[in-house]
């Protein structure tokens, strides 16, 4: 039996549920692996787990929000033969990564300013918060499994890789970014064939009734499909909700937000630029009041927007 450990950083639990919900597929994996640590599902103390010299596969979930998260992630990663960065928090920082451009003190104040009573001065301490980071900022994983949480496609690919690893002891071409190497848009069930998409303006999601079956961009609705890796089977689009980009960029290391800006430039009012002119184009673009939250909702921490912020702060 090989040893498998599931180690969470700052998590919401969704990745745990995704893994636990695999049911029979998970049982198949557990024919090869013994779970030596998984705090959400298995009653084993961390101190016992840390006594082990090595683990074969480490599945890291969640982001890094405290020094404890960072210390634990580094310590267990050093012992792991195969490191899996599981879920978009771990790979790209995910939604909590929107806080990565703020200091822990700024984050604290947003809460502290709203409570009724504050009590200071206790002797007990807590882990020191750090500027939020993804697991991939600390460690170079062997397998990247994005998704919020990872969807069937990614889970199946991951299980296959881990089972093959258990059988052969080999893992080719590291790091492996799971999902299909194309944008979600490329096989969208709504894709208006190969014809050019024309975005008729920008409609905020509170202004519209999205139509079923029709390209969101063609309805004026921001959809991250063009800039997002195909890590799912169009989960949200199929239930008539635009892609928000939880799969991250098409290629590891590229930038979803900047890709999306390019795409928007290519599709927004392309049939009438010379009528709308700069003023008309600006008017539509200015309806987007939140570029960061719209284009970098899941990937801010790993983006050039984050690096610009750090540069600005002198970090």
Partner 1 sequence: MSWRPRVVAFFCRWCAGAAAETAGVMRLRYDPGVIPVIVPCTGRISPAMIVDAFLNGADGVLVGGCHTPNDCHYVSGNFKAFKRVHLVRKLLEQVGIEPERLRLEWISATEAPKLARVVNDFVEEVRKLGPLGGRRA
Partner 2 sequence: MAGYRPIIALDPVTLVEGVARVVVVTDGRDVRALYQIMEFRGFEKLAVGRHVEDLPKVMSAICGFCSWSHHLVSGKAVDSLLGRRPPVRARLTRTLLNYIQVLDSHLLHLTFIGLPDLVLWGEDRRDIVKLMSKNPGVASIALRTRSLLKKAEKRFVGKIQHGSLVLPGGVCRGLTEEDLAELRSTLAEVGKAVEELRRFFEERIARSGQFRRLLAREDFSMRCYSMGLVRGDSLELYDGTLRVVDSKGRVVEEVEDPAAYTNVVGEALVSWNNATLPYYKPAGPKFFSEESTLMVGPLARLNVAKEVPGERASEEYGKLIDAAGGKPLSNVVLYHWARLVEVLHCLEMIERLTESRELLEGELVDLAGSPRSRGVGIVEAPRGTLIHDYSMDDRMVATRARVITPTTINNTAINISLGKASARLVEEVRSEGRPSPETVATFESIIRSYDPCNSCATHCVRVGSRELSVSFRIVVLNERGEVLWQG
| Binds partner 1 (CB under 8 A): choice among 255, 256, 301, 302 | 255
| Binds partner 1 (CB under 8 A): choice among 216, 257, 298, 301 | 257
DSSP conformational letter for 91: H
| Binds partner 2 (CB under 8 A): choice among 31, 47, 51, 253 | 47
Q: Does 109 bind partner 1 (CB under 8 A)?
A: no
Cα separation of the two ends of the chain: 45
| Binds partner 2 (CB under 8 A): choice among 1, 205, 265, 310 | 205
Three-state secondary-structure class, residue 56: strand
Nearest by Cα to 202 from 303, 84, 294, 287: 287
| Binds partner 2 (CB under 8 A): choice among 294, 301, 303, 305 | 294
For partner 2, the closer of residues 142 and 305 by Cβ is 305
Which residues in 186-209 are b (16+ Cβ under 10 Å) and which e?
eebebeeeeeebebebbbeeeeee
| Span of 186-194, 202-210, 258-266, 269-277 interacting with partner 2 by CB under 8 A | 202-210
Are the C-beta atoms of residues 255 and 224 closer than 8 Å to each other?
Answer: no
Q: Does 292 bind partner 1 (CB under 8 A)?
A: yes
Q: Does 311 bind partner 1 (CB under 8 A)?
A: yes
How many of the chain's residues bind partner 2 (CB under 8 A)? 86
Are the C-beta atoms of residues 303 and 265 closer than 8 Å to each other?
Answer: no
Phi, psi dihedral angles at 161 (to 5 degrees)? -60, -45
Q: Angle 222-249-230 (CA atoms, 0-180°, nearest 5)?
A: 80
Question: Which residue ranges make up the site for partner 1 (CB under 8 A)?
Answer: 101, 255, 257-258, 261-262, 264-266, 268, 270, 273-274, 277-278, 281-282, 285-286, 288, 290-292, 295, 304-309, 311-314
């Amino acid at each position: 039996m090989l040893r498998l450990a599931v180690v969470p950083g700052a998590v919401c639990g969704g990745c745990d549920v995704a893994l636990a919900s695999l049911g029979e597929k998970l049982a198949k994996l557990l024919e090869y692996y013994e779970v030596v640590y998984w705090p959400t599902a298995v009653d084993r103390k961390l101190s016992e787990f840390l006594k082990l010299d090595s683990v074969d596969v480490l599945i890291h979930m969640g982001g890094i929000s405290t020094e404890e998260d960072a210390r634990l992630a580094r310590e267990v990663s050093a012992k792991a033969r195969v490191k899996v960065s599981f879920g978009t928090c771990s790979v790209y920082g995910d939604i909590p990564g929107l806080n990565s451009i703020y200091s822990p003190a700024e984050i604290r104040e947003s809460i502290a300013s709203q409570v009724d009573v504050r009590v200071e001065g206790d002797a007990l301490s807590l882990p020191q918060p750090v500027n939020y980071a993804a697991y991939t900022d600390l460690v170079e994983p062997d397998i990247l499994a994005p998704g919020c949480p990872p969807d069937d496609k990614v889970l199946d690919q991951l299980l296959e890789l881990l089972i093959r690893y258990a059988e052969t002891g080999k893992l080719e071409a590291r790091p492996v970014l799971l999902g299909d190497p194309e944008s979600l848009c490329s096989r969208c069930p709504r894709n208006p064939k190969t014809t050019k998409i024309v975005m008729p303006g920008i409609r905020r999601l509170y202004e519209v009734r999205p139509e079923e079956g029709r390209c969101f961009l063609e309805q004026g609705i921001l959809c991250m499909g063009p800039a997002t890796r195909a890590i799912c089977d169009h989960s949200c689009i199929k239930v008539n909700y635009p892609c928000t980009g939880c799969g991250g960029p098409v290629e590891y290391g590229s930038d979803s937000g900047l890709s999306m800006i390019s795409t928007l430039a290519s599709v927004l009012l392309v049939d009438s630029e010379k009528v709308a002119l700069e003023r008309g184009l600006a008017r539509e673009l200015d309806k987007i009041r939140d570029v960061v939250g719209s284009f970098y909702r899941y990937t801010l921490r790993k983006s050039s927007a984050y690096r610009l912020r750090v540069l600005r702060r002198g970090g």
